[in-house]
Structure 1
Amino acid sequence: MTAPSGCVDWVASVLLAAWERQEFEGRYRGADEFRALAIDPDDALASWRAATLPATPWRPELGTWFDEWSADWPAADRLGLTRADRLVAALAVAVELEPRLRPLVAALGDDPTHRLPSVGLAAELAGCVGLQPGDVRAVCASDGRLTWYDVVRVLPVSGRASSLDDRIVASAWLVGAGDTTAKDLPVQWVRPRAGGRLRAASRRSPGVPSAVFGADHRQNAETVAAGHGAELAALAGVPADPVSVGRLARSAVLAGAPVVLRCDQVPERWVLDAAERAAAFGATVALSNNRRARWVPPPGWRDVVVEPLDCGARTVRWGTALTKVGLEASPEVLEAVGVEFILGAGAIDDAATRARVAARRRKVDRAALRRAARRTVWRDLTSVARPGLSGVVWADLVVSPATQRQLSEIAGALGNRARVLDGWGFGGRPGGRGYHLLFAGPPGTGKTLGAAVIAGAADLELWVVDLARVVDKYLGETEKALDRVLEAGQASGAMLLFDEADALFGRRGDVREARDRWANVEVAYLLQRIEEHDGVTVLTTNLSHNLDEAFSRRMSRRVDFAVPDAGLRRRLWRMSVPGSAPVADDGALHTVADRFELAGGAIRTAALNAAYAAAAEGGQITLGHLVRASVQELAKAGRAPTRDELADLAPLVTPVWGTA
């Protein structure tokens, strides 16, 4: 992509011809000689040149020679460089490639300290190719193609007032010392996939920018490349500065590739400004947004929706991606991960790369691909959620038989989602893919533990949504955060747990002021978004009456967790006190289980506090330790028993807040 080799010989001949002209008419003078005059230095210098330069024309063979070698310059053709652009670029390239020309450049500029060509010198050479000096000065401006495409860089000289003294330096890529693909910019070069709708539209109206909406940016870029009949597409974020926009546009134009900008996390005005700048220099531009509702393209833009990959397409993509990185998997494994993870093309490619890094052999199993797929989407979950409990089993959960039966049914449903939704066709019905659960009950009754147990039974990852990172006081920010977590959860196949969900999905109220209206709008949006979610969610609440009534219709199942009875409390106390703990009397556990109505979470806390108290006294865990710890838990809940209610246990209780 460098300049043709003939340009060096041509520039050498032109510089020698310019030297001969200066020898005949008098030495070249710099703009510094005119700085003390009242007129503009550039105007004075231009007037002096007009009066002193010879009237004799340049040798015509120089212009003919220029046309011959510059016609064979593909990079200049693709960038749309004009005759003046090519003259300046050739001058900069020749001096960079042939250092022996630099003394001649310094002599022509009458300044031995500067051996790089100046704007003024380039303007002096304009006549040899039939141009005016002003034509050359114009293309050296900061908004010209040369600087926008980073073909040359115009460097000001310290202490010089005139822009004619600015020095021209060829960029590294132009002289073969750099890369035309701007690797230091965050650009992905994407190859095409089928994009018939965009291809047909591009034939009808070539050059029209596109707004492409789809869940996966790389898949969007593949569609754009196919739609424009290109072998590549340049997928990048919105560059932060005009120079980077120009370099990105240059790289794309040189490669014959459209520019696809990711715009879902960037203010709209930045997106449009970058798109307009890139399009102004011949780049075909498309904007990629992974949610259609987030951004509305301006009038005149083509609107294209890229449908997500279906199960079959995901399976094929997994096979292709693994082959590219030198791995393979059985058809059954490919189909299993294609069904489980609703990933786009780019995410599948990333997961295959992760699997390659961790693989010890060429053929990988389902577990390896599942780990790779989960880690690919975990980066989106970690910003708003944390991993839930893992490794818990049914034996760790102590609930009533009715609740246990409901949870077992839910685990069975989750384990057979693929068969029912995809094999039996239920997933094609509106709202048929999502599975949303409501767990209601007092604190400590096992709601979170129940979610962890059924997640483990169904072989799903459990992620607990951090409401502090989701709920935001600014309008629209809560919705955006919820979008991110739901999208990541759906892609990863994870179960999302919204603990204390009434804080997020509260009941809508009467509108008395503006904030009430926006709060109701927010709840309505969250209701709609949960209904659209195709993954698995669990909402827990201690106060189910605080949830909006519309949630009951959107929940697949509701499970109520009650405070355990005496029999369940005995099991909970036995599970909360390890067998190795020094308990003075096994009957003490039954006594506190029968006398104090505590939930499972409170029982675990009471058992631990009793153990700490016994250890501090250097003895065994006695009934007194257990009773005092239980009374403290009741007091925390505002239900501290009176001395009469404690009856025969009252002497064991030291003064505790709330006892009489």
Structure 2
Amino acid sequence: MGTGTRASHPGTEADNAEADNAATADGRALSEAVRSVLAHIDAHARRAHPENAPPHSPAPTRPTGPTRSTGSAHPATLEALASCFGLSAFERDIVLLAAAAELDPTTGARCGAASGDPERAYPTFSLALAALPEPHWSALTPVAPLRRWRLIELADETRLTVSRLRLDERVLHFLAGSPYLDARLHGLLRRTTAPDALPASYDLAADRVAAGWAGDAGQRAPLRVELVGGDQRSRADIAAVAARRSGLGLYTLTAADLPTAPEERDRLARLWQREAVLLPAALLVETGDGLDREQAGTADAFIESAAVPLCVSSTDPRPGERQRGERVTVPTLDSEEQLGVWTAAFDGVPDISEDDLRGLVEQFSLPPHLIRAAGAGVVRDLPHANGTDATVLAWQAGLEEARMGMDELGRRIEPQASWGDLVLAERQLKILRETVAHVRQRATVYQEWGFASTLRRGLGVTALFAGGSGTGKTLAAEVMAKELGLDLFIIDLSQVVSKYIGETEKNLRKVFDAAERGGALLLFDEADALFGKRSEVKDSHDRYANLEVSYLLMRMEAYRGLAILTTNMKQALDTAFMRRIRFVVDFPFPGEAERAEIWRRVLPARAPMKGIDPERLARLTVAGGSIRNIALSGAFLAAEEGDRLRMRHMLEAARTEYLKLERSLTPSEVQGWI
């Protein structure tokens, strides 16, 4: 397939000059072909209506035998149009006659003379049947190329033979050597350009897509390919490279934008198929994950009608019985391929070694286009980095690109807390540091030392933080994220769990798939909402609830980062699930000594204070979260009075906090405060 039109895609200056010369030659040939078809109109006027014939028209001659064309010098664009749409010689001459009405100002008068009616000064099917060589009635039918592909339009479709014939504007510009995307497709389609290079495995996928478009004699659905997996941009890059290798451009259409009305959808399908031939180009239909039943049916009908190269792009294979051609899966890049992409993206950036790049590969699992974006960002920012190390900038760029798609799935916290902000017993701190070591050294242990090949499953680092509200579970996760140089994403399981079967797993998959890009630290808050003790399976809902829990644990165990569950009720968790968690950290309610230390760390040294006694404040039997609330509220009360922070401010703030906790202050807690 293809017309070989040279103006479809930009090239070098020499290529453009050659295209301009060819367009000029085609323009001359088109003018000559138009004059030739008009000569037949004049000849008919001489024969049928000699009194109306133009005074300087050629002498009337009646063809004595079959004639295949009106002239021998046809422009390449006309030959391409005739070849691609299967036009007969008669249909090709009708195209020229309609083009003449736009290009030659004498056409109207000459048509009026030939039809014997000066009021009918325009091309018609009846005139074409009478005046042009090799006429056949089938050219007029709606299923014949002229009307099926909207090459010719009728001003009044109720008057078939005498209605004015108009050449479609897009076809006219094509014949004149000025191809462009039909204006009726603007807003629906967008041009997709191919990257300069692809990783080797992506390159093979592009070859498979191109081969799927080529098809073979025994293939039931040639020209269609289903491209699944990866992210949307990666699929588009693969399809664009496949199109370039096939000599095609690539345009992308979102399935949700397809018209649902059958007649509008059919009109769009025909318009695109004509466009695919004229450009030439392939189409990438991005089906996405949010199509409702009606939109999915519309997309299937549109895809089914395609008779030009088309690629169906989706994260997962679309369900259904209709064949969508060969299925090509976007491969997962191995570490060496990722290293190659990172190396190319940071080529020319000083002070980044191969070891630094390997560290980025171990942490981030980004598609090539995001790696290139990260590299471009570092190159842009490095001159203004004020001495910041290029490796640090590269890590930050990787984090920024990995965040794409995560912010809408959870609450992101940029970690600021350090180990000094935690008030925990050494036993808990030791487990937290050991957990960090498991994440930091996973590449060494799993790959270099070979443990991944012997263990195979359960390689993800999972932890359970158990303790009451405000005991420091989220703070500990923030400290660990800071230590690892990662983002902390807090996932509210109450927003993830759905009453609809299968939706919870879909939501969890979105979270983990997005987090895999950067190995973010995931904190699933209030896990006991999902991880209660398993009850006897009495109905399908009980069974699916257990499947949801199993799916979450499976994804946690396979996750390349650190996934943490928090609970206020450890005793409510099933012991069978507890065995699948690698680390369990208990966050006890702080004793009086720990509370005093928390008070000392919460109160800033530069805050104006008078008479503040952390030892007395520690008598309040509240956890660290409440201590922070009381300290902050007391500070605002003091600031509003224009006074220094005093114990009476703390007392007032403590009363407010206790009301929130539905408790009452005891005399022993506040004795000696004022």
What's the TM-score, normalizing by structure 1?
Answer: 0.77
Deviation at 1:220, TM superposition (A): 4.4
**In the alignment, is residue 416 of structure 1 matched against residue 441 of structure 2?**
yes
The whole-number CA distance in structure 2 between the counterparts of 1:484 and 1:465 is: 12
Change (3 A) 1:438 1:253: farther
Structure 1 counterpart SS, 2:132: helix
Report if the CA contact (8 A) 1:155-1:166 is conserved. yes
**In the alignment, is residue 238 of structure 1 matched against residue 254 of structure 2?**
yes
1:138-149 equivalences under 5 Å are: 138=142, 144=148, 146-147=149-150
Aligned partner of 2:226 in structure 1 is: 211
Deviation at 1:433, TM superposition (A): 4.7
Deviation at 1:299, TM superposition (A): 4.8
* Cα deviation digits, residues 224-258 of structure 1 (max 9, x gap): 67889636673634353446555655565567765
* Cα deviation digits, residues 600-619 of structure 1 (max 9, x gap): 11001011222333444554
* Cα deviation digits, residues 176-220 of structure 1 (max 9, x gap): 444359886224243671247778886685526433332244544
Match of 1:132 among 129, 136, 159: 136
Aligned partner of 1:499 in structure 2 is: 525
Tell me which amino acid in the other structure corresponds to 2:415.
Answer: S
1:477-496 equivalences under 5 Å are: 477-496=503-522
1:43-122 equivalences under 5 Å are: 63-65=68-70, 69=74, 75-76=80-81, 79-83=84-88, 86-87=92-93, 89-96=95-102, 101=107, 120-121=124-125
Q: Which runs of 5+ in 2 are unaligned?
A: 8-22, 51-60, 259-264
Change (3 A) 1:416 1:280: same
The whole-number CA distance in structure 2 between the counterparts of 1:617 and 1:533 is: 52
Deviation at 1:109, TM superposition (A): 8.4
Deviation larger for 634-643 or 571-580: 634-643
The whole-number CA distance in structure 2 between the counterparts of 1:153 and 1:352 is: 51
Match of 1:544 among 557, 570, 574: 570
Deviation larger for 172-181 or 128-137: 172-181
* Cα deviation digits, residues 457-507 of structure 1 (max 9, x gap): 111122223557544455444433322221111012322222223345555
Tell me which amino acid in the other structure corresponds to 1:313.
Answer: E
Aligned partner of 1:656 in structure 2 is: none
**In the alignment, is residue 435 of structure 1 matched against residue 458 of structure 2?**
no
Deviation larger for 608-617 or 180-189: 180-189
Structure 1 counterpart SS, 2:621: coil
The whole-number CA distance in structure 1 between the counterparts of 2:394 and 2:582 is: 30
Number of paired residues? 609
The whole-number CA distance in structure 2 between the counterparts of 1:142 and 1:269 is: 32
Match of 2:312 among 277, 280, 287: 287
Aligned partner of 2:286 in structure 1 is: 262
What's the TM-score, normalizing by structure 2?
Answer: 0.75
**In the alignment, is residue 564 of structure 1 matched against residue 565 of structure 2?**
no
Report if the CA contact (8 A) 2:45-2:115 is conserved. no
* Cα deviation digits, residues 264-297 of structure 1 (max 9, x gap): 32537756755664674532333233345x6466
Match of 2:204 among 194, 208, 214: 194
1:287-436 equivalences under 5 Å are: 287-291=312-316, 295=319, 298-299=322-323, 301-320=325-344, 330-352=353-375, 354-355=377-378, 358=381, 360=383, 365-427=390-452, 430-431=456-457, 433-436=459-462
Report if the CA contact (8 A) 1:236-1:260 is conserved. yes
Aligned partner of 1:48 in structure 2 is: none
Report if the CA contact (8 A) 2:141-2:147 is conserved. no
Deviation larger for 577-586 or 368-377: 368-377
Structure 2 counterpart SS, 1:318: helix
The whole-number CA distance in structure 1 between the counterparts of 2:400 and 2:109 is: 59
Change (3 A) 1:359 1:132: farther
Deviation at 1:632, TM superposition (A): 4.0
**In the alignment, is residue 613 of structure 1 matched against residue 637 of structure 2?**
yes
Tell me which amino acid in the other structure corresponds to 2:35.
Answer: A
The whole-number CA distance in structure 2 between the counterparts of 1:98 and 1:332 is: 70
Change (3 A) 1:141 1:249: closer
Report if the CA contact (8 A) 1:7-1:94 is conserved. no
The whole-number CA distance in structure 2 between the counterparts of 1:126 and 1:216 is: 58
Change (3 A) 1:345 1:209: same
The whole-number CA distance in structure 1 between the counterparts of 2:532 and 2:113 is: 80
Structure 2 counterpart SS, 1:303: strand
Aligned partner of 1:602 in structure 2 is: 626
* Cα deviation digits, residues 328-367 of structure 1 (max 9, x gap): 8654444333332212334434444555655649xx9334
Report if the CA contact (8 A) 1:218-1:345 is conserved. no
Tell me which amino acid in the other structure corresponds to 1:194.
Answer: L
Tell me which amino acid in the other structure corresponds to 1:415.
Answer: R
Deviation at 1:298, TM superposition (A): 3.5
Structure 2 counterpart SS, 1:492: coil
Structure 2 counterpart SS, 1:502: helix
The whole-number CA distance in structure 1 between the counterparts of 2:109 and 2:357 is: 66
**CA RMSD, Structure 1 to Structure 2 (Å):** 4.5
Tell me which amino acid in the other structure corresponds to 1:211.
Answer: E
Report if the CA contact (8 A) 2:422-2:476 is conserved. yes
Tell me which amino acid in the other structure corresponds to 1:493.
Answer: G
The whole-number CA distance in structure 2 between the counterparts of 1:498 and 1:189 is: 40
**In the alignment, is residue 10 of structure 1 matched against residue 39 of structure 2?**
no
The whole-number CA distance in structure 1 between the counterparts of 2:139 and 2:428 is: 84
Report if the CA contact (8 A) 2:226-2:313 is conserved. yes
Structure 2 counterpart SS, 1:448: helix
Report if the CA contact (8 A) 1:220-1:288 is conserved. yes
The whole-number CA distance in structure 2 between the counterparts of 1:110 and 1:358 is: 76
The whole-number CA distance in structure 1 between the counterparts of 2:447 and 2:126 is: 69
* Cα deviation digits, residues 100-144 of structure 1 (max 9, x gap): 6466568778999998x66x4487258735242442342578982
The whole-number CA distance in structure 1 between the counterparts of 2:120 and 2:551 is: 65
Report if the CA contact (8 A) 1:70-1:86 is conserved. no
Change (3 A) 1:533 1:15: farther
Percent identity between matched residues is: 28
Report if the CA contact (8 A) 2:226-2:327 is conserved. yes
